Amino acid sequence: SMSRAPFVMAKAESAFSRDMKIFDSTIGARFPNPKVTAEYGADTMPETGDNVAKQFGVTREQADTFALASQMKFHAAVQDGFFAGEIHPISVPTGRKTPPVVVDKDEHPRPETTALTLEKLKPLFEGGVVTAGNASGINDGAAALLIGSRAAGEKAGKAPMARIVSAAVAGVEPRIMGVGPVQAIRKALARANLSLADMDIIEINEAFASQVLSCLKLLEVDFKDTRVNPNGGAIAVGHPLGASGARLALTASRELARRNGRYAVVSLCIGVGQGLAVVIERIQ
């Protein structure tokens, strides 16, 4: 729950220390290592979004175009009933005298988004690319997957959806953490003895439009490629920390089944310069 994320305080560095600082943990616990900060700086997540835009030549117009596509693809998937297959409705009490509210759809998507509404938004930083419209939202959310042996699943009467072929993590400079998925994807594909050409789906979590576009540029993949985030992404649905990895793996597994595909690569960038990627194969 990002809306209920607490303020956190580090332990005292010395006896009777009175220089205690409080950090907002909404986007993760922020206890920067002084040595890491001294060497690499301490850019915020939105700043890293602008950093990659500048370094890899992503324009505001390109970022907004990608963001609009994310909203439209997500809305199309909702209209098709695709996401109903992975949403568990929750009944929320509203009081003793009023009926509960059933939450069965995501609140963050904005299907009414247009190129004009995105264009009117001010950048977070002067002259920058990142805006509220082309970045992921701060959301509450959860996702769950069961991972185990095929035998265990069969014993429980559950047919497996997909198998993990390979996984990889990678590190990049913290200031450009958004391109972490690039090296992670390359490593995961190499371990699986596969290439991007073998992938039926390419999922790159949408922390920022500029970040995904930078990754695609380095991977030499057109963002209009129908394999890329085919049902939209975090710019539309949000990015509740700790839930996005499971959500992406689940959605990709179901999309493989829908399009009768075989392989998908699912990836995320992680603050302080990390990338994570997993190659999955649909079990037919």
Q: What is the pLDDT of residues 108-126, one digit of tens each?
A: 999 999 999 999 999 999 9
Among 117, 155, 124, CA closest to 51: 124
Closest by Cα among 70, 77, 92, 208 to 140: 92
The reported pTM is 0.92
Of 203, 194, 220, give the one whose Cα is nearest residue 276: 203
- The answer to whether residue 28 scores a pLDDT higher than 80 is no
Condensed to tens digits (0 to 9), the pLDDT of residues 211-225 reads 999 999 999 999 999
State the pLDDT at residue 266.
99
CATH no. for 47-284 = 3.40.47.10
Judge contact between 264 and 256, C-beta under 8 A.
Answer: yes
Q: How many CB atoms lie within 10 A of CB 163?
A: 13
pLDDT over threshold 70, residue 189? yes
Q: Is the pLDDT of residue 29 over 70?
A: no
What is the C-alpha to C-alpha distance for residues 231 and 77, in angstroms, rounded to an integer?
Answer: 6
**Given this model, what pLDDT does residue 107 score?**
92
Exposed (0-12), middle (13-18) or buried (19+): which is 39, by Cβ within 10 Å?
exposed
Cα 9 to Cα 24: distance, rounded to the nearest angstrom: 9
Q: Minimal CA–CA distance to 139: which of 108, 113, 111, 110?
A: 108
pLDDT(55) > 90: yes
**In the chain, where the domains are located:** 7-45, 47-284
Average pLDDT over residues 46-70: 97
The three-state DSSP-derived secondary structure of 125-176 is CCCCCCCCCCECCCCCCCCCCCCCCHHHHHHCCCCCCEEEEEEEEEECCHHH
Q: Which of 73, 230, 241, 275 is nearest to 143 (CA)?
A: 241
Instruction: Tell me the pairing of strands 7-9 and 22-24.
Output: antiparallel
| Token code pair at residue 148 | 């185990």
DSSP class of residue 11 equals: P
Q: What's the sign of the alpha-carbon dihedral 100, 105, 108, 112?
A: negative
Q: What does the pLDDT read at residue 42?
A: 83
Distance of CA 50 to the CA centre of its chain: 17
Is residue 254 within 8 Å of residue 140, measured between CB atoms? no
- Say how far apart CA 174 and CA 51 lie, in whole Å: 10
Which uninterrupted H or E stretch holds 70?
Answer: helix 60-79
- Per-residue pLDDT averaged across 23-52, rounded? 85
Place of tokens 């600082």: 21
Does position 265 have pLDDT exceeding 80, yes or no?
yes
pLDDT of 269 higher than 90 = yes
Q: Would strands 201-204 and 162-171 be described as parallel, antiparallel, or unpaired?
A: unpaired
The number of residues making up the chain comes to: 284
Q: How far from the centroid of its chain's Cα atoms is residue 25's Cα?
A: 18
The rounded mean pLDDT for the chain is: 94
